[in-house]
Amino acid sequence: MIKKTQIVNKSSGIALVEVLVAAAVLSVGILGLAQLQVLSLKHIQGDADRTSAVEFASGIINCMRSNRVIAISGYYDKKVGDNNNYIDCNKMPTASICLLTQQRTPMEVKDFDLNEWVQDLDRNLNFGKGTIETSEIDSDPRTVLDPGKPAIPTKIVPRSLVKITVRWESRTEFKDEAKTKPKEIEFVLRTRL
């Protein structure tokens, strides 16, 4: 009589320990992805606010350049505390500043520009405020060189230097550990008109 030997394979099934280890590794990976998603959303919101601040600062600069005489005279200068005094054209469309007329004086254009700028800051940034400061002649005036003579300035061209500051409270960053005081973010744009 011939004996049949059976070979028993010890690794024929998955052990419970292997399943638990795989589940633990998978759960750590999923938690990591969830945390990455939260951080990504935070940075997207912060970047959106910064992009808005750049757009608003550039927008008011363009308005000032189109109304340059009034801007150089300092009429566009605006301090942080001045931002509360604006007319919401959505609520009061018949206000004189909101009416679209063919003929506006440069001062009316300035009032309209500042009103729109302050409204944009208030509506689109978390407690958004802005400051505009102009100086008639900056400390580094541009020189015009005579093409026939190397590096000898022929005349000084004074240009107005403008500093636009946009401030807002972050929706995602905080000053304290308890996350009760939002961090104030500031964007500054300096340019010449």
Angle of helix 16-66 relative to helix 106-124, nearest 10 degrees, comes to 170
For residue 9, being part of any structural domain is answered with no
- How many structural domains are present in the chain? 1
For residue 5, being part of any structural domain is answered with no
Does the pLDDT value for residue 18 go beyond 80? yes
> Chain-wide mean pLDDT for the chain?
77
For residue 166, being part of any structural domain is answered with yes
- C-alpha 46/C-alpha 129 separation (Å) is 16
For residue 19, being part of any structural domain is answered with no
Q: What are 96-118's pLDDT values in tens digits?
A: 666 665 577 888 888 888 888 98
Residue 98 has what pLDDT?
63
Q: What are 117-143's pLDDT values in tens digits?
A: 988 888 888 888 899 988 766 445 454
For residue 4, being part of any structural domain is answered with no
DSSP 31-62: HHHHHHHHHHHHHHHHHHHHHHHHHHHHHHHH
For residue 71, being part of any structural domain is answered with yes
Q: Model-level pTM?
A: 0.66
Q: Which of 100, 120, 114 is nearest to 67 (CA)?
A: 114
Q: How confident is the model at residue 156 (pLDDT cuts 50, 70, 90)?
A: very low
Which residue do the tokens 């999923």 mark?
30
Which residues are within 8 A (CB) of 143 and not within 5 positions of it... i.e. 6 or more apart? 153, 155, 156, 157
Residues 86/115, Cβ–Cβ less than 8 Å:
yes
Domain that holds residue 170: 25-192
For residue 132, being part of any structural domain is answered with yes
Residue 134 has what pLDDT?
85
For residue 6, being part of any structural domain is answered with no
Q: How confident is the model at residue 149 (pLDDT cuts 50, 70, 90)?
A: low
Which residue type occupies 53?
A
Greater confidence (2 vs 142) lies with 2
Which residues are within 8 A (CB) of 153 and not within 5 positions of it... i.e. 6 or more apart? 143, 144, 145, 146
Q: What are 27-43's pLDDT values in tens digits?
A: 999 999 999 998 888 88
Does the pLDDT value for residue 79 go beyond 80? no
Pair of tokens at residue 36: 């990455």
